[in-house]
Structure 1
């Protein structure tokens, strides 16, 4: 799924900023960072090389020549907490293991579910956001809202439903309600545009990507989680025990300080965090 990135400024979390004295003058220089990890734990001294998929907004993309997105903001915050300068490397999830093993990157984001990381024989150092399928619908009172009245699975049989062709949501609905039940679109963006135009009643698709696209359609909003959600994690090389521990500590601190929630809301607005199913329960 591809979508237009809004021109936004990168989130800067807890970075040291020079202060101007009472009498004016130039800002003070930023204090030197003290690295938490050094080579051979990372490939280059003072630098954290982070793999992201630069063609997958809102996780990562470009706007006005700048690299922006959820993964970019999270990577910047992790690098700052590790006392390192950030270097972003464009890596597709399919190439993650090779890039980590070769030392091309130190860690990988790239919107990779933790389950996929395990199958790829890499280690997850923690989760930074939860993603999964969701419903999107038009506001009943024509007001602009990022969240609208919840659509339940029981309502679906009587609705005109759209989804991106061959997406997980598309196949799940087709399997549940029969072939031809879902109106397919080339992209999730096209499906949401059709929803906004009143051509369909509800769209099923990726929650994070859909919520981001819906920001360009003020009458469309998140209408509830649809199916299981998965935590997306930061991956490290399988034997990178020290780096895993350092990144996990950074992520735990970012969660406790509200940094991860701030980043999520920056890109998704008031859309609630999805719940992850654990043995039939949610967490």
Structure 2
């Protein structure tokens, strides 16, 4: 009986009537439950202890290689999210057009690659919104054209990265605005990467280029002797989100919590300030997911 009471005190129980066998049985059940939870957590990600992230590393300032190491806002943000989740981030360089396909095929746990939030994509994947941006227009310094809005692109060859959210919108402008004005259509030239689209512009194969605003201004700053941004403000303002598989709501919720924690700690704002980017408002997030009329 003394052993039973001592064991009860050791395990924090108030009753001396509980036997050692019962207490150890309860402890075994508790340990099994914890092990089950750890197993479930491990199965949440593609690799245990790792947050595997799909990113197109040809897209500065969002994502690029710096001495063969992933750099830019999205890799930095991915490492921050992984830290908040107690995981290690593994960045997989993947072309933009293949990111959603790779996510749905379970190649990675999330996409962090300036992925625009659209109602169409939201039917395929879940989002954790974390940035806002828009697009800009670029031409050669030697160009006589100075397009400020999409309607100015009628009759021009426009290069862009493949699967960009603005491509259907440009097509709509071409089919309606250009046609109604009696102008030639916009010839959209899609390329696997942004650098290839830029090369088409610089070589003269394209008359203009449409690109994310932050990327456009980075390009124009680095190549100010060759190209310039001609649009003012953001064209097609839009929210950017982390892409997560719809069959992993627990990971989506964990990332949302990690973002909230990073916001409260000031780490998120520090990253935004570092790259000159902005967070979306609640209304902008709501609007980005609303079906377009």
TM class, shorter-length: 0.5 to 0.7
Measured after TM superposition, the shift of residue 216 of structure 1 is: 1.4
Q: Which one of 79, 99, 106 corresponds to residue 76 of structure 1?
A: 79
5 Å-filtered alignment, 1:117-196, equals 117-120=121-124, 122-124=125-127, 126-134=128-136, 164=159, 168=167, 176=177, 179=183, 187-188=197-198
**Is the contact between residue 54 and residue 92 of structure 2 (CA under 8 Å) also seen in structure 1?**
yes
Greater helix proportion = 2
- How far does the alpha carbon of each residue in 1:94-121 deviate from its partner, in whole angstroms, 9 at most, with x for none? 444553355431222222222253132x
Structure 2, gaps ≥5 residues long: 1-37, 140-146, 190-195
| Aligned alpha-carbon RMSD (Å) | 4.5
Aligned to 2:44: 41
Aligned residue for 1:87?
90
| Cα deviation, residue 54, structure 1 | 2.4
1:209 — aligned with what?
Answer: 215
Q: Is 1:262 matched up with 2:270?
A: yes
Say which one has the larger Rg: 2
Given that 1:51 and 1:105 are in contact with CA atoms closer than 8 Å, whether structure 2 keeps it comes out as yes
CA offset digits 1:186-228 (Å, max 9, x no partner) = 845776999xxxxx9x986421211221221569678643443
Q: Which residue of 2 aligns with 1:251?
A: 259
Aligned to 2:63: 60
Indicate which of 87, 90, 103 corresponds to 1:100. 103
- Report the CA distance between 1:72 and its aligned residue: 0.8
- 2:281 is equivalent to residue 278 of structure 1: no
Counterpart among 113, 116, 120 of residue 116 in structure 2:
113
Cα gap change, 1:228 to 1:48, in 2 (>3 Å): same
1:234 and 2:242 are equivalent in the alignment: yes
Q: SS where residue 73 of structure 1 aligns? A: helix
Assess if the C-alpha contact under 8 Å between 1:131 and 1:206 holds in 2: yes
Q: Which runs of 5+ in 1 are unaligned?
A: 1-34, 138-150, 195-199
- Of 60-69 and 240-249, the range deviating more from structure 2: 60-69
Deviation at 1:78, TM superposition (A): 0.5
Mapped to 2, the partners of 1:221 and 1:95 lie a distance apart of 28
Change in 2 beyond 3 A, CA 1:212/1:173: farther
SS, match of residue 212 in structure 1: helix
CA contact (8 A) 2:55 2:99 kept: no
Counterpart Cα distance in 1 of 2:160 and 2:90: 35
Contact 1:163 1:170 in 2 (8 A): no
**Aligned-partner Cα distance in 2 for 1:63–1:75:** 16
TM-score, length of structure 1 as denominator length: 0.58
Q: Partners in 2 of 1:68 and 1:105 — Cα distance?
A: 18
User: Which deviations, in whole Å up to 9, do the C-alpha atoms of 1:153-175 show, x marking residues without a partner?
Assistant: 6xx97xxx996469748657655
- Name the CA distance, whole Å, in 1 between partners of 2:280 and 2:231: 12
Query: TM-score scaled by structure 2?
Result: 0.56
**Count of matched residue pairs:** 223
SS class of match (1:215): helix
